[in-house]
Structure 1
Amino acid sequence: MYPHNSAFDKISYEEADLADLLQLVAENRDKCAFARLFDHFAPRVKGFLRRNGTAEAQLDDVVQEVMIKVWRYAERFDPKKGKLTTWIFTITRNVRIDLLRKENRPEPDANDPMLVPTPPVKSDDAVYANQAAMRVADALDDLPKEQADILRLSFFEGKSHGEIAEHIGLPLGTVKSRIRLAFDRLRNSLTELEL
């Protein structure tokens, strides 16, 4: 499906690190840098598409098309104009619109959340969001490995509880229990951090 060593060896990158990886792709066609970008963004793009109504059978094809465009047009990204994440999800939105047009569906609804541009983020909000994300990541790192892994599969890769159970070979009830326990621990950790 997607090239990576294991479902559990996800690395969290800062936005600047991701932009540096794309720069390597743009300048040198660095396949290793692209593989890291792919590992980081492919599951997120897939989850985004799934949440926004893309048919399950089309998800992998659309993700591949998005990542091919990232490879082909890497040199077009300008960090002065916005974040890499925004650029990639704009590509995702456009690929989704193209898919809808190819299927001869009616024009997309102007009220579709995928078509509404995101408002600019205030710098204070961005700082707070970054700090909050770091606190959540720290709290996630404090969880037992099996709980953290299940949360990553569920919320970062967008897998259903049933898919997780099948993927790691545990009963569905055990997966649900671990998610519930992990949420309780996260909630307690984040409450202590006043988040």
Structure 2
Amino acid sequence: MTLCLVRTGRSRDVASFERLFVYFGPRIRSFMLKRALDGQLAEELMQETMMMVWRKASLFDPQRGNASAWVFTLARNVMIDNLRKAKRPEFDPTDPAFVPDAPETPDVNFEQDESAERIRLALASLPEEQAELLRMSFFEDISHSMIAEKTNLPLGTVKSRIRAAFSRLRAALGEDR
């Protein structure tokens, strides 16, 4: 069988592939059936395996192993791929993850607007330098080390001023921590 596989790979010899198919087809089907696959699926996977043998025969290296081991490795991989596909969940449009959120009520909108206004006022009450450091760090997503470079301040000073700004914000918002 090794010679047939080599011929199939090198010259696309149909007669050699036919011999491979006649020899390995029933064995691969039996291999699939022993793994608790139904007859229809075993037949489909055998066909898929043999198509892969035809397409990849040129990759077979007789120095690295025998034809049977190579073909059954392909069959095993085809079976594993099929099992992975079968385990993928089907799309369920009624899944809560896909159902849009209910529109927010006026109460929720009012509370969010009120909270946003409280935060704006608290930020406005901070010293200009602390407010600017917070803005760069959280609204512009600039790292503390980059802020230190931009402002010509030591990194420790940037961190301590941001921490102090948070303490003032908590106090202004009436939060304990």
TM-score by length of structure 1 reads 0.44
Bigger radius of gyration, 1 or 2? 2
Higher relative contact order (CA 8 A, sep 6+): 1
Q: Which protein is richer in helix relative to its size?
A: 2
TM-score by length of structure 2 reads 0.48
